[in-house]
Structure 1
Amino acid sequence: MNDALTFLTQGGPVIWAIAALSVITLALSLWKIWQFLQIGVWSGGTVTDSAIACWQAGDAETGLSRIRGRKSVRARLAATAMAARLDPALTPDTARDETTRVARSLLSEARGGFRALELIATIAPLLGLLGTVLGMIAAFQALQTAGSRADPSALAGGIWEALLTTAAGMVVAIPASMMLTWFESVVDRLQADMEDAATRIFTRGPE
């Protein structure tokens, strides 16, 4: 604990800002994983495929009953598509539009928080660089003030402390970028599955 406080003190205000970003990154990452579990990003594929198989075989009621009320994003999209196709008040084009609207809403929900992680991955290294530049300026100002009596070891110590912020910024930015890339790949796969399910429902099944 003392080492951590010393590290924060040596880095100055910038290191505190980077530390705050690290806490936000961890909180966002845990929240996204929890959210993905809540909306069934990694589940629902099997039951949705089973429902679509029933739909394509002509048993619309059984297919829709298997996925109606489920929390999985895939199941919710498939249920919307089936219900839209069965609604006599909707034309085929209107049913597609309704399905697309719901799909966009579900994907927007799944992508929540991505911009914040992207921002952290971008500004953390810049904050680290800012802290290093400010530290270097202070170190060379001290060197100028000391004149001929300057202690090289003191200058080296000031530069070392300044470089801490650059390292800290990278330590925060790299995990943030990795988590963002992973989350985006999960949502991209989800989007592909949703598009596939909707296409199968609209191209074959009860009229």
Structure 2
Amino acid sequence: MSESLLADTTGISAGPVSQLLEMGGPVMIVLLAIALAGVVTFLYLMLFGTFFAPRFTSKLKKAITEWQQKPDGNVSEHLQRSAGRYAQLNPLHHLIVNTMNARNAGTDPQQIRESVARDAHEALEPFEAPLKIIEVIAALAPLLGLLGTVLGMMEAFGAMAATEGRANASQLSGGIYEALTTTAAGLVIAIPFAALSAWIEFRLRRIQKTINSALVTLLSVPVATTESEPEMEAHDKPAPAAGTRTGRVVEYSGDEHQGRLANATG
């Protein structure tokens, strides 16, 4: 009694997979394998994105607003102190803090842009490989289904040729059934993965747009520094007749210097 129940249970649990393999032939094994690989890749992508995807949080928005009002080192220091463990995993948090520190340090703007572009690309690079795998699965599944169709039809016509055209319906039905099964399986796998790849690509484009918007805002705010002027500019510009430098504010007097200040500010 127990053995029959165990046999029934085993048959029910292994029935669907074994039936698919029997109906679709060897191509069905490949289709099931790539479908499993796609599911694992998607789960990994979702889990990885939960912790390491760039996120434009409310703290970062507040920090950028404060930076626009007063661009100094206090903004980046406060942002670093208030960041929790989960925020430390956010690549956009490090991008914003590093950009603020670089601008406060008086780093060359072109060097800052190159560093920011490289870091932004590295933040999105881990998501490119899983997306490519899902896209390949979505494109490969219909082709494998078509391959199963061709093999099934070859089997059907092979049976007909073996009987010299006198094959009955039962001999032809096996090959045709295999052909239709693999075609349907390929489409069933390809359709959801094609939708997933489009959705993931859309999300990555939105993240990239968010990163670009945040970094452009940081780079567009003028920042005064206490760094000494280059020697060439010092030789080109005469010393101000009456000027005092206090901190980051420079006061000039005289019509000549007022004209230069107006030209510098546009």
TM-score of the aligned structures, taking structure 1 as reference length: 0.91
Per-residue deviation at 1:66? Answer: 4.7
Corresponding residue for residue 198 of structure 2? 181
* More helix, by proportion: 1
Question: Given the alignment, which residue of 61, 64, 88 partners 1:52?
Answer: 64
CA contact (8 A) 2:34 2:137 kept: yes
1:45-84 matches, cutoff 5 A:
45-68=57-80, 70-84=88-102
CA contact (8 A) 1:14 1:165 kept: yes
Question: Given the alignment, which residue of 212, 216, 219 partners 1:202?
Answer: 219
Against the structure 1 CA distance between its residues 105 and 161, is the aligned structure 2 distance closer, same or farther, given a 3 Å change threshold? Answer: same
Per-residue deviation at 1:205? Answer: 5.0
Question: Given the alignment, which residue of 96, 104, 109 partners 1:86?
Answer: 104
Separation in 1 of the partners of 2:222 and 2:76?
A: 12
Separation in 2 of the partners of 1:11 and 1:110?
A: 33
**1:21-53 Cα distance to aligned partner (Å, 9 max, x none):** 000010010000011101144x44322111111
> RCO greater where, 1 or 2, for CA within 8 Å and sep 6 or more?
1
CA RMSD of aligned residues (A): 1.8
Corresponding residue for residue 252 of structure 2? none
**Unaligned segments of structure 2, at least 5 residues:** 1-13, 225-266
1:97-136 matches, cutoff 5 A:
97-136=114-153
Separation in 1 of the partners of 2:170 and 2:202?
A: 48
Separation in 2 of the partners of 1:47 and 1:110?
A: 24
Question: Given the alignment, which residue of 20, 24, 38 partners 1:7?
Answer: 20
Of 133-142 and 172-181, the range deviating more from structure 2: 172-181
CA contact (8 A) 1:139 1:158 kept: yes
Secondary structure, counterpart of 2:158 in structure 1: helix
Which AA in structure 2 matches 1:21? I
**1:118-175 Cα distance to aligned partner (Å, 9 max, x none):** 1111111101100110110011100111235411233133202221111111111112
Corresponding residue for residue 256 of structure 2? none
Indicate the percent of aligned positions where both proteins have the same amino acid.
31
Corresponding residue for residue 29 of structure 2? 16
Against the structure 1 CA distance between its residues 116 and 86, is the aligned structure 2 distance closer, same or farther, given a 3 Å change threshold? Answer: same
Q: How many residues align?
A: 205
**Unaligned segments of structure 1, at least 5 residues:** none
